[in-house]
Chain A
Amino acid sequence: MHKTFLSACLAGTILAGLAAGAAAQQLVTTDRVGSPDAPNVLTMRANPNQSPNNPSPEQKAAFEKVWQAFAEAHPDWQIQFEFFGQDIGSEHARLLEQARAGRAPDCVTVDSFQLALFIKNGALKPLDDFFSQEEIDDLFPFIRDGITGSDGHIYAWWWGTDLRVLYRNTEIVADAPETWEELQNAALEAAESGVEGVLFNGGRWEGTTFDWLANFWAQGGQLVDEDGKPIFGEGENREKMLRAIDYFKGLVDSGAAPQRVATIKDYNDFNAAAIAGSAAMFFGGHWQYFQLQEAMPEEAFAKWDVSELPGPTADERATGTGGWTIAAFSDDAEKIEMCANVMREVYMGPANEVIGDLPTRESLFASLPKFQDPYFDKLKDYLVNGRARPGVPIYPEISNQIQIMMGEVLSGTKEPEAALDGAWNRVMDAYAKM
């Protein structure tokens, strides 16, 4: 009995020792990459899904392999992660305050449309030395413009982009609508059969502005001039704005879209409607294709197809392109270099394959195995009409006012002209103070 007890204690001690050893050797945890004993520390803030803390088990497992390779290649470094919360706008505002006070993390994933704030405030370090001219020239033009400061230096690496597309249940809407009119007719016909014709973001969040702006851009509309001054409420741009507002208002007023679109502020609502079979079409992000594929039975998913967002005419098309960048906030040359290594070795390619965000370099789009698929071929064609949000400090307020304007119009509180005038006046008041 005594021997048995001693043997059990010994076995337990050995197992505990092995487990402790394994934990000590673990190079990738949810908030650390590299050995905890590594002498050099790089602090990094990221969205959870762009880190080893990715909530999807499949992506997390794939990402861990990428980070493991990175940790093994840089044994003297450990990366300590912090994570952004849900409210990206306020998270970036806080980050700017931290950068001013010299307390920002060394390396941060920054939302592409917020990048200009940090460049213009001198919070970022130039990265020209870490990327070849060939790599920079290989970027899609709107990507290159987005990361280049007014002094010609590049201040971040925009590694992944996305775009908005029209999803449709082909059993209800067989042919892809190419124009606004075709979309409304198809949605009305679908609504008559008892489903919601078309869904889109209309609540108070960035997605509402961004998804809808494609309709303004498709007409050639400009939000700001070359100096970053808002011009969307004047002259031809005002007319184009009104046409784009009338388009969405017409969808709701005619019953092609339900009134509840004024409350939608999450792309997951579209997934839920598609899975429930309660909607015929929706304007969504390209990444939802994989979410639906994962969540729906094969035969149900086979009914869904993706096409380019309709335009006022079939020849006038645009789609909003977003995505994420990585920027170096540190003053330490070694940390800046390590941040650039993270950009190159983890995000430039490997992260695209893990997360599904589209590569921003044409050669990577053409060579990475994941993107050699008919679905991505289609997206690459749509990217030709891709438009990024202007990288100007006034954009967040323009977006805020467009969200309010859309809510007022879609809920019938205000007519489009009055709502647009309200948004324009408030944006100009804010611009005057900048």
Chain B
Amino acid sequence: MSQDAAVGAASRTGSRHKKAWHLAERPLVWLAPLTLLLFVTYVYPAIDVIRYSFTDATLLNPEYAYTTDSFKAVIRSPDLPGILWVTFAFVVASVILQLVLGLLVAMALHRGVRRRLPGVSVVRIIILSAWIVPGVAAGIVWQLMFNEASYGFLNAVLRGAGLSPVAWLSDPNIALWSAVIANVWRGTAFSMLLLYAGLVVIPSSLYEAASVDGATALKQFWYITLPQLRPILLINTVLISIFTLNTFDLILPLTGGGPGRATEVLALYTYNTVFRNFDLSNGAVLAVVLLLISIVFTLIYVRLLPREL
């Protein structure tokens, strides 16, 4: 390398350092593109939804006025308590089952990996495949499974075992739990993934010491595994609560919200209000309610992050 070339290279390197130094000094410069993207795709639509919630807009009439009547109408709606109850039951049941099943599968996989059992990767792929199936497709699959005709899969299995068929989707008291089963089938893989990551980083020395002290497997789980997983469990709970709260793509093909309103969760009710009833302002109010609940969960998530991780 000639001297000039060496000087040039050094100069370019220096220039890069200088630029890097400047960027480090001015975070706004490199944060700006991301901020703009987030503003356009998240903040602006959210602000627009909030704005529409303070109007009487419908999809049928381009003219609208600003009012708080839509909030009053939604709050006074006789359907709202039932919708909120269905949503609460759907979210709580889904979250609990996804956590428990996710933990069981993660522990089984972890144990399988540690023992180098064959086929563990295949099992992991099969479970994850449920997670990548789109909600609509999962809804259609489970609609076929729950079909109450003589050729419906689950009832055929029950009949084969000498048991009575179940009114999976036509009985309003069972339909919601059928929707929960379908949602848990789809969501357990995500829980498993997070919890498996948590299990992997627990130091094996803790278990070895416990074994030396004569701790049973149950005690090891209670006093080592669960406390060590606590931050992951909390974050997992918050994330799957948000996902489940916003679920409607799975329920739409599965039950459409029926029979009656037995499986109409808040997200589906919002969708129906806008796209069936063309009521943009009431739909916007419901979307704001969904947004507020999600924000509460997100704040919990944000609060947990720095402390626990």
Contact = CB atoms under 8 A, between A and B. Distances in A.
Contact of B172 (A203, A205, A278, A413): A413
Given A100-B62, A276-B149, A411-B171, A263 B276 contact: no
B170 A97 contact: no
A346 to B, nearest CB: 29
B182 interface: no
Contacts of B169: 260, 262-263
Interface string A60-99: 0000000000000000000000000001011001101100
Contacts of A410: 170, 259
B259 A93 contact: no
B164 to A, nearest CB: 13
Contacts of B78: 422
A408 B151 contact: no
Nearest to B277: A397
Given A203-B259, A204-B258, A407-B258, A260 B277 contact: no
Given A258-B148, A259-B170, A433 B259 contact: no
A272 interface: yes
Contacts of A429: 73
A416 B176 CA distance: 23
Residue among B59, B147, B149 with most chain A CB within 10 A: B149
Nearest to A263: B169
B255 A203 contact: yes
B150 A404 contact: no
Contact of A397 (B167, B252, B276): B276
Nearest to B152: A260
Contacts of A278: 149-151
B278 A396 contact: yes
A41 to B, nearest CB: 28
A430 B255 contact: no
Given A117-B60, A205-B256, A404-B261, A260 B275 contact: no
Given A93-B274, A396-B277, A411-B170, A276 B258 contact: no
A52 interface: no
A313 interface: no
B170 A263 contact: yes
A121 interface: yes
Contacts of B150: 276, 278
Given A121-B60, A262-B170, A263-B170, A413 B256 contact: no
A403 interface: yes
Given A262-B259, A263-B148, A433 B56 contact: yes
Contacts of A261: 170
Contacts of B187: none
Residue among B62, B79, B172, B277 with most chain A CB within 10 A: B277
Contact of B260 (A87, A276, A407): A407
B246 interface: no
B167 A260 contact: yes
A425 to B, nearest CB: 8
B294 interface: no
A100 to B, nearest CB: 6
Given A259-B170, A400-B272, A408 B149 contact: no
Interface string B249-279: 0001001111111100000000110111111
Contacts of A426: 79
B137 to A, nearest CB: 12
Interface string A411-434: 101100000001000100110011
A340 to B, nearest CB: 27
A156 B61 CA distance: 21
A405 B261 CA distance: 9
Contact of A87 (B148, B167, B252): B252
A296 interface: no
Residue among A87, A97, A260, A408 with most chain B CB within 10 A: A260
A60 B171 CA distance: 40
A334 interface: no
A410 B175 CA distance: 14
Given A258-B148, A411-B171, A413-B172, A89 B276 contact: yes
Contacts of B259: 202-204, 262-263, 407-408, 410-411, 413
A265 B140 CA distance: 12
Contact of A434 (B58, B255, B258): B58
A260 B170 contact: yes
Interface in B52-83: 56, 58-62, 73, 78-79
A269 interface: yes
Contacts of B276: 89-90, 396-397, 400
A403 B257 CA distance: 10
B26 to A, nearest CB: 38
Contacts of A405: 260
B262 A269 contact: no
Interface string A183-207: 0000000000000100000111100
A386 to B, nearest CB: 25
A233 interface: no
Contact of B278 (A196, A260, A269, A393): A393
Contacts of A259: 148, 167, 170-171
A342 interface: no
Nearest to A101: B62
5 contacts: A93-B275, A117-B60, A260-B147, A403-B258, A408-B261
Interface of B: 56, 58-62, 73, 78-79, 147-151, 167, 169-172, 252, 255-262, 271-272, 274-279
Of all A-B residue pairs in the complex, the 7 with the closest CB atoms, nearest first, are A204-B256, A407-B259, A260-B148, A90-B275, A408-B260, A204-B258, A407-B260
